[in-house]
Structure 1
Amino acid sequence: MNVHQLRRVPLVAKWPVTPCRRASTKTPRPPKPSPKSSKPVAIKRRQATPPRQPPTLQSTQPESPKAETPKQGHGIPPRALTFLGISALTISTYCGYLYASYTREVSKAQTLDVPRDVSDRYNTTAATFDADVELSEKAMGLGKKRRDLVRQAHGNVLEVSCGTGRNLPFYELGERRGTDADGRAAVLGCRSVTFVDLSPQMVAITKEKFEKLYPAFPAVFKACDAGAVSPSDLQRSGVKNGEPVYFDTIVQTMGLCSMPDPAATLRHLGSVTEPKGGRILLLEHGRSYYDWLNRILDNLAPAHADRHGCWWNRDIGEIVRESGLEIVEEKRWHLGTTWRYVLRPKQAQKP
Structure 2
Amino acid sequence: MHATWLGRASFRTSKPLITSRGVQSRASRQRRSNPITPPQPRKQFNPDIQRFQERYDKKESAAAPHGIPIRVLTFMGITVLAISTYTGYLYSSYQQEVRKAQALDIPADVSDRYNSTASNFDAEVDLSEKAMGLGKKRADLIRLARGDVLEVSCGTGRNVKFYDLKERRGTDEQGRAAILGCRSVTFVDLSPQMVDIAKEKFNAANPEYTRVAFRAQDAAAVTVESPARAHTGKGHYDTIVQTMGLCSMPDPVGTLRHLGEITEPEHGRILLLEHGRSHYEWLNRILDNLAPLHADKHGCWWNRDIGAIVKESGLEVVEEKRWHFGTTWRYILRPKHSDQS
Q: Specify the SS of the correspondent of 1:250.
A: strand
1:139 pairs with 2:131: yes
Q: Alignment partner for residue 281 of structure 1, among 254, 271, 293?
A: 271
Root mean square deviation of aligned Cα: 2.4
C-alpha displacement of 1:82: 6.2
Contact persistence 2:265–2:338 (CA under 8 A): no
Q: Distance in 2 between matches of 1:80 and 1:193?
A: 64
Q: Alignment partner for residue 306 of structure 1, among 282, 289, 296?
A: 296
Q: Specify the SS of the correspondent of 1:128.
A: helix
Q: Distance in 2 between matches of 1:302 and 1:149?
A: 30
1:203 pairs with 2:195: yes
Q: Alignment partner for residue 220 of structure 2, among 227, 248, 253?
A: 227
Contact persistence 2:266–2:338 (CA under 8 A): no
Cα distance, 1:83–1:328 mapped onto 2, change above 3 Å: farther
Q: Distance in 2 between matches of 1:173 and 1:179?
A: 17
C-alpha displacement of 1:187: 1.6
1:174 pairs with 2:166: yes
Q: Alignment partner for residue 108 of structure 2, among 111, 116, 127?
A: 116
Paired amino acid for 1:176: R
Q: Distance in 1 between matches of 2:205 and 2:70?
A: 57
1:69-218 to 2 correspondence within 5 Å? Answer: 85-218=77-210
Q: Alignment partner for residue 315 of structure 2, among 325, 328, 351?
A: 325
Q: Specify the SS of the correspondent of 1:193.
A: strand
Contact persistence 2:153–2:219 (CA under 8 A): yes
Structure 1 equivalent of residue 249 of structure 2: 259
1:247 pairs with 2:240: no
- Count of matched residue positions in the alignment of Structure 1 and Structure 2: 279
Paired amino acid for 1:140: M
Q: For structure 1, which runs of at least 5 residues remain unmatched after alignment?
A: 1-70
Q: Specify the SS of the correspondent of 1:143.
A: helix
Q: Distance in 2 between matches of 1:206 and 1:85?
A: 53
Paired amino acid for 2:272: L
Q: Which has the larger helix fraction?
A: 2
Q: For structure 2, which runs of at least 5 residues remain unmatched after alignment?
A: 1-60
Cα distance, 1:105–1:186 mapped onto 2, change above 3 Å: same
CA distances 1:170-213 after superposition (whole Å, capped 9, x unpaired): 11112022221112222211110000001111111100111111
Larger radius of gyration: 1
Q: Distance in 1 between matches of 2:96 and 2:298?
A: 18
C-alpha displacement of 1:89: 3.8
Cα distance, 1:92–1:238 mapped onto 2, change above 3 Å: same
Cα distance, 1:349–1:134 mapped onto 2, change above 3 Å: closer
Contact persistence 2:242–2:271 (CA under 8 A): yes
Cα distance, 1:181–1:78 mapped onto 2, change above 3 Å: farther
Paired amino acid for 2:107: P
Contact persistence 2:228–2:237 (CA under 8 A): no
1:338 pairs with 2:331: no
Q: Distance in 2 between matches of 1:346 and 1:128?
A: 39
Structure 1 range deviating more: 81-90 or 332-341 = 81-90
TM-score normalised over the length of structure 2: 0.76
Paired amino acid for 2:129: E
Structure 2 equivalent of residue 237 of structure 1: 227
